[in-house]
Chains A and B, each alone.
Chain A
Amino acid sequence: MNKLMKTVTIAMVFVLLTVLTACGSKESADGGNGAGKKASLDFVWFSDGNEGEIMKSIINDYQTKNPNITVNLIEVPYKDLGTKLKTMISGGKPPALARISTTELGAFANQAIDLSASNGGLDSYTAQYVDSIKPFYVVNGKAVAAPMDVTANGLIYNKTLFDKAGVKVPTSQDNIWTWDEFSAALKQVMDKGGAKYGMVWDYTPQRWSTLLYQFGGSMMSEDGTKATINNEAGVKAAEYFKKLHDDGIMPTSVWLGGDNPNNLFRTGSVAAHFAGNWMIGNYKDIQNFQWGVTYMPKGTTRSSVPGGKFAMAFQKSGVEKEATDFINYISSKEVNAKYCTDALFLSPRKDNSKLEYAFGKDMMELFSNELNNTVPAAAQDWSRQTIVPKFSNDLKTTLSDIIGGKTSAKDGMDKVAQLIDKAIASEKK
């Protein structure tokens, strides 16, 4: 009996070790690129809408032209992107490429390949793209990523409810609303149009900062040496945001309860959604009401917040040259035009400023107009991506505390300013 047990145990351990060894050897077989001419590029990707499918068709075209290259699209949810890349890079196996947003760009800048080196230097490389996003992808004099699309914040409204209430939206830049006029208009849509709420506003500090810039504020000084978010403009922006909730124009369920604003707007009972241009593609299938895009209201000035999605190639992937060639291909005028028109994105390329969209051409132009009327502080603030993540979540929760009446706008903004100053100080060390 004892002997039998011993034999069974040894057999079990043997099987276990065999399985572990097999797993290990499989990984190394996959991981190696071999000495052949063929190259395999891992492209870590996330999708907001249908752009993953569009990228697959672009990859197919590229592979047809370059039969020795295989591009593997590794799709991850956006929220897992940072962790996935961090794990791959710190594990010594960086992917060849990744689609990356402004939020992650700063963290991975040191691991990225300088794309300007193979494209005639920094000035000629950046000259291709709209200037407002330059602070995002140019880090320490290097082009660490290629812009794929540029984003702007703007105002999407429920046309059916506005028409029912008899409220006309601004038709040109000359007659855009002030914030007080806009609030009054939303109340009228609620009273006469039957809207349950006037507006929903994405639960992100980036989207809130639109109001900050419109009120003439900024998060940091122009040279990035100190916080300015708690100055008069910043406090006013926070107070106005609270007032929109207090007046019942905005539901507290988004900024306090975590409700999804997209879903609320889709119900048809909310007059407007303060979001980004990527929502055009998302709302394309709405059937129960008509909707459109109009000019955002202004405070002391007009402003949006620029952002975008980029493609980054990583060092030490073993296929750096092939990855750079692929990025140069997808960011070329023709391929980028196809990508942006199919996915309903704004192109970051200056030579693609007028694209022929099959849907929502006027809306895209309106978002483009918002971007052209954006204050420089917006890009300066949000491009400081080694500092911003250290306080952005606190900014979001502090705004929730201000809305909920747990703290005053002044105290809340002072607290965030302290965090910004601390992050700036630790950056200088």
Chain B
Amino acid sequence: MSTQASAVKRVKKRRPDQSMGWTPYLFVLPNLLIFSVFIVIPTIIGFVYSFHQYDGLNPMEFVGFDNYKEIFKDSEFWGALGKTARYAVIAVPSIYCVSLAVAMMLIQPLRAKGLFRSIFYWPTMISYIIVGLTWKWIFGDFGIMNYVLSLFGSEPIQFMSNPFFANLSVIIATVWSRLGFYMVIFMAGLQAIPIDYYEAARLDGASKIRVFRSITLPLLKPTTVLVVMLALIDAFKAYPLLFALTGGGPGKETTFIVQYIYETGFAKQELGMASAMSVVLFVLICLFTALQNKLSKGGED
């Protein structure tokens, strides 16, 4: 009898009524404590704040749904949300395509594969602030990129002062900083696809594109759902990188929703209003996630 078979037998020996007692709960306890203290309780308190006028210092004043009513009339809020959606629509597919391409490349039997994997993964280990500042040095109007362009006799490009280039810079920096993280997830997904399928396809004479479309993509569906969902949530929560890179400018061109909420709460000292905005964002992200999960049937089949 093989080791695997004996292990299965051991597991099967446990009767359904045989409980493990409170041991599993103890394993969950540390994370549950941390999650409750730092996520659940602040979320509930934020929800309570959203019905008040509150500056963080002086006594709160209950205002009912006034904050929510004001949000629906606030064109700047919806403008910032629209810009965030535009950013997500461009950034998420870009991250998806680039990280999948790199992952497919780096599961091939290449020389120095480990080194290349490290190079792509390295940016994910740097704080967003540093990533933002680094790209600011590159794309700044007096930055490295314009210096290099000037060496070739080209006119400087106003990467940070021009709305189009500022948005482009933000996308490039985002993809660069997140690519490694999603690459790792894709590599795990790709390596989980049985090699037999590819061998069978090769024997049948399928082209590489056909193999990709008929085997790789369908079998990567659970990974794809995970990546798209994580990247989309990331995009809607994006703030430190953008703040360090463009400061939300020029004007408010790259002021996305989280920065707008932050400014409402901490610059304008309207914590109640900012909390209500956070609740709206929370609901939107939940809706997105639920919808996406439903459409993809949770990544099954």
- Name which of B136, B160, B255 has the most chain A CB atoms within 10 A of its CB: B160
Which residues of chain B are within 8 angstroms of A13 by Cβ–Cβ distance? 26, 29-30
CB < 8 Å: which of B56, B141, B166 contacts A259? B141
Stretch binding the partner chain, chosen from A145-153, A230-238, A320-328, A398-406 = A398-406
* Residue of A whose beta carbon sits closest to that of B248: A397
How far, in angstroms, from A50 to B229 measured CA to CA in the complex? 48
**A107 located at the interface, meaning its Cβ lies under 8 Å from any Cβ of chain B in the complex:** yes
Q: Is the interface of A mostly helix, strand, loop or mixed?
A: helix
Contact B161 A253 (CB under 8 A): yes
**A251 located at the interface, meaning its Cβ lies under 8 Å from any Cβ of chain B in the complex:** yes
- Shortest C-beta distance, B82 to chain A (Å), equals 16
- Shortest C-beta distance, B80 to chain A (Å), equals 12
Contact A86 B58 (CB under 8 A): no
CB < 8 Å: which of A107, A111, A257, A400 contacts B158? A257
How far, in angstroms, from A90 to B33 measured CA to CA in the complex? 23
How far, in angstroms, from A356 to B143 measured CA to CA in the complex? 41
**A6 located at the interface, meaning its Cβ lies under 8 Å from any Cβ of chain B in the complex:** yes
Which residues of chain A are within 8 angstroms of B57 by Cβ–Cβ distance? 86, 89-90, 107-108, 110-111
Contact B26 A86 (CB under 8 A): no
How far, in angstroms, from A221 to B233 measured CA to CA in the complex? 45
CB < 8 Å: which of B21, B58, B249 contacts A400? B249
**A393 located at the interface, meaning its Cβ lies under 8 Å from any Cβ of chain B in the complex:** yes
**A256 located at the interface, meaning its Cβ lies under 8 Å from any Cβ of chain B in the complex:** yes
**A5 located at the interface, meaning its Cβ lies under 8 Å from any Cβ of chain B in the complex:** yes
Given A253-B141, A257-B141, A259-B160, A404 and B251 touching (CB < 8 A)? yes
Contact bitstring B32-44, A, C-beta under 8 A = 1, else 0: 0100000000000
How far, in angstroms, from A179 to B222 measured CA to CA in the complex? 65
- Name which of B57, B166, B251 has the most chain A CB atoms within 10 A of its CB: B251
**A264 located at the interface, meaning its Cβ lies under 8 Å from any Cβ of chain B in the complex:** yes
- Shortest C-beta distance, A362 to chain B (Å), equals 32
Which residues of chain A are within 8 angstroms of B136 by Cβ–Cβ distance? 258
Contact A259 B269 (CB under 8 A): no
How far, in angstroms, from A83 to B267 measured CA to CA in the complex? 10
Given A13-B30, A90-B56, A393-B263, A256 and B269 touching (CB < 8 A)? no
Given A5-B23, A259-B141, A252 and B246 touching (CB < 8 A)? no
**B250 located at the interface, meaning its Cβ lies under 8 Å from any Cβ of chain A in the complex:** yes
Contact B142 A258 (CB under 8 A): no
* Residue of B whose beta carbon sits closest to that of A20: B33
Which residues of chain B are within 8 angstroms of A251 by Cβ–Cβ distance? 141
Contact B56 A86 (CB under 8 A): yes
Which residues of chain A are within 8 angstroms of B210 by Cβ–Cβ distance? none
Contact bitstring A1-44, B, C-beta under 8 A = 1, else 0: 01001100110110010000000000000000000000000000
* Residue of A whose beta carbon sits closest to that of B250: A256
Contact B58 A257 (CB under 8 A): no
**A390 located at the interface, meaning its Cβ lies under 8 Å from any Cβ of chain B in the complex:** yes
**B122 located at the interface, meaning its Cβ lies under 8 Å from any Cβ of chain A in the complex:** no
Which residues of chain B are within 8 angstroms of A397 by Cβ–Cβ distance? 248-249, 251-252, 255
**A318 located at the interface, meaning its Cβ lies under 8 Å from any Cβ of chain B in the complex:** no
Contact A389 B251 (CB under 8 A): no
Contact bitstring B184-210, A, C-beta under 8 A = 1, else 0: 000000000000000000000000000
* Residue of A whose beta carbon sits closest to that of B61: A429
**A82 located at the interface, meaning its Cβ lies under 8 Å from any Cβ of chain B in the complex:** yes
Given A258-B249, A400-B249, A253 and B158 touching (CB < 8 A)? yes
Q: Is the interface of B mostly helix, strand, loop or mixed?
A: loop
Given A83-B266, A264-B142, A393-B267, A256 and B251 touching (CB < 8 A)? yes
Which residues of chain B are within 8 angstroms of A257 by Cβ–Cβ distance? 140-141, 158-161, 166, 249-250
- Shortest C-beta distance, B234 to chain A (Å), equals 23
How far, in angstroms, from A400 to B249 measured CA to CA in the complex? 8
* Residue of B whose beta carbon sits closest to that of A89: B57
**B247 located at the interface, meaning its Cβ lies under 8 Å from any Cβ of chain A in the complex:** yes
Contact B160 A107 (CB under 8 A): no
**B27 located at the interface, meaning its Cβ lies under 8 Å from any Cβ of chain A in the complex:** yes
- Shortest C-beta distance, A287 to chain B (Å), equals 21
**B297 located at the interface, meaning its Cβ lies under 8 Å from any Cβ of chain A in the complex:** no
CB < 8 Å: which of A83, A86, A111, A406 contacts B251? A406
- Shortest C-beta distance, B181 to chain A (Å), equals 27
How far, in angstroms, from A400 to B252 measured CA to CA in the complex? 9
Which residues of chain A are within 8 angstroms of B20 by Cβ–Cβ distance? 2
Which residues of chain A are within 8 angstroms of B255 by Cβ–Cβ distance? 397
Contact A256 B58 (CB under 8 A): no
How far, in angstroms, from A393 to B58 measured CA to CA in the complex? 22
**B86 located at the interface, meaning its Cβ lies under 8 Å from any Cβ of chain A in the complex:** no
- Shortest C-beta distance, A104 to chain B (Å), equals 10
**B268 located at the interface, meaning its Cβ lies under 8 Å from any Cβ of chain A in the complex:** yes
How far, in angstroms, from A68 to B161 measured CA to CA in the complex? 55
How far, in angstroms, from A397 to B250 measured CA to CA in the complex? 8
Given A397-B249, A404-B251, A389 and B269 touching (CB < 8 A)? yes
Contact bitstring B133-156, A, C-beta under 8 A = 1, else 0: 000100011100000000000000
Which residues of chain B are within 8 angstroms of A5 by Cβ–Cβ distance? 23
Which residues of chain B are within 8 angstroms of A252 by Cβ–Cβ distance? 141, 158, 161, 250
Which residues of chain B are within 8 angstroms of A2 by Cβ–Cβ distance? 20, 23
- Shortest C-beta distance, B4 to chain A (Å), equals 18
Contact B160 A258 (CB under 8 A): yes
* Residue of B whose beta carbon sits closest to that of A426: B53
Contact bitstring B255-283, A, C-beta under 8 A = 1, else 0: 10000000100111110000000000000
How far, in angstroms, from A428 to B153 measured CA to CA in the complex? 59
* Residue of B whose beta carbon sits closest to that of A401: B251
**Given A110-B57, A257-B160, A404-B250, 19 further pairs, Cβ under 8 A:** A9-B23, A9-B26, A10-B26, A86-B56, A90-B56, A90-B57, A107-B57, A252-B158, A253-B140, A253-B161, A256-B161, A256-B251, A257-B140, A257-B249, A258-B160, A258-B247, A264-B142, A393-B268, A397-B252
A residues touching B (Cβ–Cβ < 8 Å)? 2, 5-6, 9-10, 12-13, 16, 82-83, 86, 89-90, 107-108, 110-111, 251-253, 256-259, 264, 389-390, 392-393, 397-398, 400-401, 404, 406
Instruction: Give 18 A-B contacts (CB < 8 Å), ordered by A residue.
Output: A2-B23, A12-B26, A86-B57, A107-B55, A107-B57, A252-B161, A256-B250, A258-B136, A258-B247, A259-B141, A389-B269, A390-B270, A392-B267, A393-B268, A398-B251, A400-B251, A404-B161, A406-B251
B residues touching A (Cβ–Cβ < 8 Å)? 20-21, 23, 26-27, 29-30, 33, 55-58, 136, 140-142, 158-163, 166, 246-252, 255, 263, 266-270
Those 5 A-B pairs whose CB atoms lie nearest each other, nearest first: A257-B160, A253-B141, A256-B161, A256-B250, A257-B161
